[in-house]
Structure 1
Amino acid sequence: MKEELLKKELVHISHKVYSRGLTQATGGNISVRVPERDAILIKRSGISLGEVTKEDALLLSMDGEVLEGYGTPSKEYRFHLGIYRTRPDVQAVVHCHPNYAIGFACLGIELPLPTVTAQKILGHVPVAEAAPSGSEELAYFVTEVFEKYPGIKAALMKDHGICTVGPSLEAAYNIATLVEDTANQAFIKMQIQASLPQLSKKEVMK
């Protein structure tokens, strides 16, 4: 029964990620831990997050074997499993391709945190090195970041996207939206600063 509820939630969050514009086409993947099975549910490859159904949720062992379901798991399953092995506290992973956050990721810049909310909730959003999608090398780089900074809730993926984690799918989704909105706000701040070089900080704050 718990597994069925997790499938429904995975579908719900997948649709929210897509409708929020956090990814495009068939990009992005979402997973959730199934503790009693020592396994995870992850969407199958080749399906848009906006069209995911319960049948698209595959049960995957912690060794990467498909235990239940039809199709091929998302090609990024390796870094999902790597995060779960490294972070026992993580129950869900959201990987997506939001535009503003990708801008910083492509530059290899850690996410700026201009607001007190982002500073308090996100704390630190480092960058994982670039590697081909679905590769073992990418899985290593992403897992390495979450191992190096054990308290982080999100990481940028250079030239790729973002990866967020949480105690639930909803929590991981909320972190993804905060990462993208924070990237947007940081971009706006940078644009304002660049367009007003003649004004002092005191004048800008008036």
Structure 2
Amino acid sequence: MEMEELKKSLQYVSHKVYNRGLTQATGGNISVRLPERDAILIKRSGISLGEVAQEDALVLSMEGEVLEGEGFPSKEFRFHLGIYLERPDVQAIVHCHPNYAIGYACLGMELPLPTVTAQKILSHVPVAKSALSGSLELAEYVTDTFRQNPGIKACLMENHGICAVGSDLEEAYNIATLVEDTAKQAYIMSQILANRTLEKANS
């Protein structure tokens, strides 16, 4: 895929993440590995995913240096680079703040997988430990989670959000939506079970 096509795809997926309600304000960030280059394309800092334009995509070296574009990269660029270095199969990353998944993340709970679809596609969604946004510690915790759980397609980030990966931006986006919808389904199931337990106790 050529650079301009990748920039268009990053813009398109950024808007989909925001319009789907998977993040708020200027939170979240998206990146994609550049083919045949030791670099990635990543959203610049300070812009809402709902307003990302092609010129908001920066070319970043694997050492974190801005090679092309204006502005600063997303403050979470370190864990993006960490995942790419750890997982050569990962070509794209979507980090966002979806509400139901964050509920489980804030409790430090791995994502429940109530459906056969989630079990087959996600298999296991662990939790990365909490640290300050943009910190080296957070980058280490997220990268470690992917290192210690080979093959995972997503992780929850305690008190923060989720990180989904894929072979391209669309797949990473689809994984992010599956994580959030699975969290919603798990929550609904837990409420139904709680109501049934209450009804039995009162009968």
| TM-score of the two chains, using structure 2 as the length reference | 0.97
Ranges in structure 2 where 5+ consecutive residues have no aligned partner: none
**What's 1:164 paired with?**
164
Matched, 1:193 2:180: no
Aligned residue for 1:151, secondary structure, equals coil
Match of 1:81 in 2: 81
1:198 positional shift: 5.8
Query: In structure 2, what is the equivalent of residue 122 of structure 1?
Result: 122
Distance 1:69 1:154 in 2: 28
Hey, what does 2:151 align to over in structure 1? 151
Distance in 1 between residues matched to 2:9 and 2:51, nearest whole Å: 14
The C-alpha deviation readout for 1:78-112, integer Å capped at 9, x for no partner, is: 00000000000000000000000000000000000
SS in 2 for 1:40: strand
Counterpart of 1:28 in structure 2 is 28
- The residue aligned with 1:204 is none
Partner residue in 2 for 1:105: 105
The match for 1:51 is 51
Separation (CA, whole Å) in 2 of partners of 1:160 and 1:168: 23
User: Which runs of structure 1 show a deviation greater than 3 angstroms over 4 or more consecutive aligned residues?
Assistant: none
Alpha-carbon distance between aligned partners in 2 of 1:156 and 1:61, rounded to the nearest angstrom: 26
Report the equivalent of 2:95.
95
Q: Measure, in 2, the Cα distance between the counterparts of 1:21 and 1:99.
A: 9
Query: 1:177 — aligned with what?
Result: 177
* Deviation by residue 1:5-29 (Cα, 9 ceiling, x = unmatched): 1110000000000000000000000
Per-residue deviation, residues 55-99 of structure 1 (Å, max 9, x unmatched): 000000000000000000000000000000000000000000000
Alpha-carbon offset, residue 150 of structure 1: 1.2
Partners of 2:140 and 2:38 lie apart in 1 by: 21
Q: Matches of 2:37 and 2:115 in 1, distance apart?
A: 40
TM-score by length of 1: 0.95
The amino acid that maps onto 1:91 is Q
Q: CA deviation at 1:35?
A: 2.4
SS in 2 for 1:30: strand
Which residue of structure 2 aligns with residue 69 of structure 1? 69
Distance in 2 (CA, whole Å) between partners of 1:150 and 1:87 is: 8
Q: Which string of whole-angstrom CA distances, capped at 9 and with x for unpartnered residues, describes residues 93-149 of structure 1?
A: 000000000000000000000000000000000000000000000000000000111
1:37 CA displacement: 1.7
Distance 1:162 1:71, change over 3 A: same
* Alignment correspondent of 1:203: none
Distance 1:98 1:199 in 2: 31
| Distance of aligned partners of 1:198 and 1:25 in 2 relative to their CA distance in 1, 3 Å threshold | closer
Query: Over the residues paired in the alignment, what is the CA RMSD in angstroms?
Result: 1.0
Q: For residue 187 of structure 1, report the CA deviation from its aligned partner.
A: 0.2
Structure 1, gaps ≥5 residues long: 201-206
In structure 2, what is the equivalent of residue 38 of structure 1? 38
The DSSP-based 3-state class of the residue aligned with 1:94 is strand
Q: How many residues are aligned here?
A: 200
Amino acid in structure 1 at the alignment position of 2:23: T
